[in-house]
């Protein structure tokens, strides 16, 4: 017997237009600049994880903006900016950031900033606990060098299921008060020296509730609709692959998934909707905070990179550690993120070097390995195998076409592309929005 023809179950969505921008090393690769470049033609820019441990810089017409919690795309006057459920938000610092950027020229943010009702809140006491934990770890010689922005303690509260979300702040304030008091009590049992003026905090947060109310939405539906309507959606990764809580150099990592999986869980975007994954790669490597760093150069080469690259943290102003480009590491993060293209930044910083090196393999206990060691102790013992290439010793600052780069600079870029197998579509040669080479 023939059944009736199956009804079409749903309307097929338009082909999605979601592009993800991720840090491929230990952070500060120049993600902000790439987001700014792509946001010029985007409809929505969203953050999926991390908090204000991130510091993303954009330079437009000589004015420098730094973003920590706000998606960098907010600088484009027509782009909607979403702070997703996977982000942890310290409201006082979010509003400070808004005020600072408004003074620099950021416009009509109220109409464009959207905050997920599922995002967790970072409280001052989380930041205090971050500091106390670091102090304790430092005493044992095991400091992580966190940004002390309360990121780890807040994600811990989330995982132990007594964290407080944006939606809780907008609901019945009596319930918020109970949750807040219980959470403070729990932290104080763990850290008896922690002082919290509960009444003062509650008064402050009652005011924040009114302030953020117009900005809060169910961002899952909002993004779903944007994607179905064929809008161009950018996702701005924070931190980076080697700081990922699962795949990074644990425990010297941050507390979220900064690899591509964090995009799906931190925004509620289905994996098949992600069309492009752009890895941002600094032409050398930097790391801020503690932990193993196989290609680190504690010598005049590292100092040169640090000085020419002005390698100071945007969030903590700490000096960044510097070293050669590590392609073995990029091959590893490519396995996880599946980059569809690379943007190589800060090529100009290497302009004066006589020769440049690229790490292409690791040896552990004298034996070549084909995996990324999972323990910090093994990773700190690896020896790098390098290839050495002649430098170009010419300025690349004003170059805007690949063919106009010095031949040795072209060779360096081609070598990275060949070794990782990911096409390089952009090359950064300066801080400004215009200082970029686009390759078709
Ligand atoms: P993010 O965290 O990945 O967004 O990167 P940061 O903003 O923390 O650090 C990158 C730094 O390099 C910023 O000061 C940028 O202005 C700067 N920058 C980005 N791309 C380039 C480039 O191609 N050349 C130079 N010289 N500076 C760049
Ligand atoms: P962007 O987005 C560089 C590092 C910290 C520390 C470790 C844990 O600007 O690339 P946390 O405060 O997150 O618990 O610190 O992670 N770290 C970053 N390093 N860039 C970042 O972000 C970072 N976010 C966290 O220095 O070593
Ligand atoms: Mg940064």
The DSSP call for residue 2 is P
pLDDT digits (tens, 9 = 90+) for 294-340: 999 999 999 999 999 999 988 888 899 999 999 999 999 999 999 99
Ligand closest in space to the Cα of 286: 2
Candidate of 304, 431, 432, 437 to mutate for ligand 1, largest count of ligand atoms within 8 Å of Cβ:
431
| Predicted pLDDT at 7 | 62
Residue 360 lies in a domain: yes
**Average pLDDT of 50-72?**
95
| Predicted pLDDT at 314 | 81
Residue 40 lies in a domain: yes
| Predicted pLDDT at 316 | 82
CA pair distance 254, 54, nearest whole angstrom: 10
User: Among the residues of 213-309, which ranges form H helices?
Assistant: 219-228, 261-267, 300-308
pLDDT category of residue 16 using cuts at 50, 70 and 90? confident
| Predicted pLDDT at 369 | 98
Candidate of 22, 53, 65 to mutate for ligand 2, largest count of ligand atoms within 8 Å of Cβ:
53
**Average pLDDT of 62-82?**
95
Protein residue with least CA distance to atom 13, ligand 2: 254
Residues 149 and 194 in one domain: yes
- Answer yes or no: is pLDDT of 73 > 60: yes
- The domain that holds 171 is classified in CATH as 1.10.300.10
CA 71 to centroid of ligand 1, rounded, Å: 16
Residues 250 and 211 in one domain: no
Burial 151-170 (b: 16+ CB within 10 A, else e): bbbbbbbbeeeebbbbebbe
Indicate which atom in ligand 1 lies nearest the CA of residue 32: 4
pLDDT category of residue 2 using cuts at 50, 70 and 90? low
Ligand 2 and 144: CB distance under 6 A: yes
Domain boundary among 174, 197, 215: 215
Q: Which residues are catalytic?
A: 28, 56
pLDDT category of residue 12 using cuts at 50, 70 and 90? low
Residues 396 and 338 in one domain: yes
- Answer yes or no: is pLDDT of 11 > 70: no
Is the alpha carbon torsion for 137, 138, 143, 146 positive or negative? positive
**Average pLDDT of 397-404?**
98
Domain boundary among 181, 215, 249: 215
| Predicted pLDDT at 313 | 85
| Predicted pLDDT at 388 | 98
Residues 245 and 379 in one domain: yes
DSSP letter string, 291-302:
S--TTB--SHHH
Residues 357 and 293 in one domain: yes
Residues 169 and 250 in one domain: no
Residue 8 lies in a domain: no
Residues 305 and 278 in one domain: yes
Provide the Cα torsion 399, 403, 408, 414; round to 10°: 110
CA pair distance 86, 120, nearest whole angstrom: 8
Token pair for 89:
């938000």
pLDDT digits (tens, 9 = 90+) for 160-201: 999 999 999 999 999 999 999 999 999 999 999 999 999 999
CA 145 to centroid of ligand 2, rounded, Å: 9
- In angstroms, the Cα distances linking 174 to 47, 202, 209, 406 are 30, 10, 13, 66
% pLDDT > 90, the chain: 92
pTM of the model: 0.96
| Predicted pLDDT at 52 | 97
Residue 414 lies in a domain: yes
% pLDDT > 70, the chain: 97
Ligand closest in space to the Cα of 88: 2
CA 242 to centroid of ligand 2, rounded, Å: 10
Neighbours of ion ligand 3 (CB under 5 A): 28, 55, 314
Q: What are phi and psi of 113, to 5 degrees?
A: -90, 130
The 3-state DSSP class for residue 12 equals coil
Domain boundary among 215, 238, 268: 215
pLDDT category of residue 440 using cuts at 50, 70 and 90? confident
Residue 101: which residues within 8 A CB-CB, separation 6 or more? 65, 67, 70, 74, 75, 109
Residues 128 and 110 in one domain: no
Half-sphere exposure of 342 (CA within 13 A, CB side): 25
CA pair distance 48, 258, nearest whole angstrom: 9
Ligand 2 and 28: CB distance under 6 A: yes
- Answer yes or no: is pLDDT of 9 > 80: no
Element (H, E) at 201: helix 198-212
Token pair for 13:
């969505």
Check: CB of residue 408 under 8 Å from CB of residue 350. no
Indicate which atom in ligand 2 lies nearest the CA of residue 28: 10
The DSSP call for residue 329 is H
Structural domain count, the chain: 2
Residue 229: which residues within 8 A CB-CB, separation 6 or more? 14
- The domain that holds 260 is classified in CATH as 3.90.170.10
Helices (H) and strands (E) counted in the chain, each on its own, are 13, 20
CA pair distance 233, 219, nearest whole angstrom: 13
Residues 234 and 322 in one domain: yes
Element (H, E) at 203: helix 198-212
Ligand 2 and 294: CB distance under 6 A: no
* Average pLDDT over all residues of the chain: 95
- Answer yes or no: is pLDDT of 119 > 60: yes
CA pair distance 90, 100, nearest whole angstrom: 16
Ligand 1 pocket at CB < 6 A: 23, 27-33, 55-57, 59, 314, 345-346, 348-349, 428-431, 435
Ligand 2 and 27: CB distance under 6 A: yes
Residues 181 and 278 in one domain: no
- Answer yes or no: is pLDDT of 4 > 80: no
Residue 9 lies in a domain: no
Residue 4 lies in a domain: no
DSSP letter string, 41-65:
T-SEEEE-SB-TT--EEEEETTEEE
CA 288 to centroid of ligand 3, rounded, Å: 10
Which residue bears the tokens 């010689």? 141
What is the extent of the structural domain holding 167? 120-215
């Amino acid at each position: 017997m023939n059944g009736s023809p199956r009804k079409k179950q749903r309307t097929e969505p338009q082909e999605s237009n979601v592009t993800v921008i991720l840090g491929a090393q230990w952070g500060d690769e120049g993600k902000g600049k790439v987001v700014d470049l792509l946001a010029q033609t985007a409809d929505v820019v969203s953050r999926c994880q991390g908090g204000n441990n991130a510091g993303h810089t954009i330079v437009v017409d000589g004015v420098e903006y730094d973003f920590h919690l706000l998606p960098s795309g907010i600088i484009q006057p027509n782009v909607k900016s979403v702070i997703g459920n996977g982000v942890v938000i310290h409201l006082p610092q979010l509003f400070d950031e808004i005020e600072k950027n408004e003074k620099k020229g950021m416009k009509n943010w109220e109409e464009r900033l959207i905050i997920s009702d599922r995002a967790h809140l970072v409280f001052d006491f989380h930041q205090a606990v971050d500091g106390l934990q670091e102090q304790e770890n430092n005493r044992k010689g095991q400091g992580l060098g966190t940004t002390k922005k309360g990121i780890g303690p807040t994600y811990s509260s989330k995982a132990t299921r007594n964290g407080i979300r944006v939606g809780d702040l907008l609901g019945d304030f009596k319930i918020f008060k109970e949750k807040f008091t219980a959470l403070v009590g729990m932290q104080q049992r763990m850290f008896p020296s922690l002082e919290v003026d509960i009444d003062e905090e509650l008064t402050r947060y009652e005011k924040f509730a009114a302030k953020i109310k117009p900005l809060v939405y169910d961002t899952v539906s909002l993004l779903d609709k944007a994607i179905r309507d064929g809008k161009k959606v950018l996702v701005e990764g924070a931190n980076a692959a080697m700081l990922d809580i699962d795949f990074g150099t644990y425990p010297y990592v941050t507390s979220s998934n900064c690899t591509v999986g964090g995009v799906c869980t931190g925004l509620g975007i289905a994996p098949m909707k992600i069309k492009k994954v752009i890895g941002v790669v600094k032409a050398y490597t930097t790391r801020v905070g503690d932990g193993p760093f196989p290609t680190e150069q504690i010598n005049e080469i590292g100092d040169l990179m640090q000085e020419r690259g002005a390698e100071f943290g945007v969030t903590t102003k700490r000096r960044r550690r510097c070293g050669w480009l590590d392609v073995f590491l990029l091959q590893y993060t490519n396995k996880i993120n599946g980059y569809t293209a690379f943007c190589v930044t800060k090529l100009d910083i290497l302009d004066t070097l006589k020769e440049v090196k690229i790490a292409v393999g690791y040896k552990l206990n004298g034996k070549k390995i084909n995996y990324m060691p999972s323990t910090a102790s093994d990773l700190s013992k690896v020896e790098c195998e390098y290839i050495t290439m002649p430098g170009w010793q010419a300025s690349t600052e004003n170059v805007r076409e690949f063919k106009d780069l010095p031949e040795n600079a072209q060779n360096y870029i081609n070598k990275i592309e060949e070794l990782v197998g990911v096409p390089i579509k952009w090359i950064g040669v300066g801080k400004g929005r215009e200082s970029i080479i686009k390759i078709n």
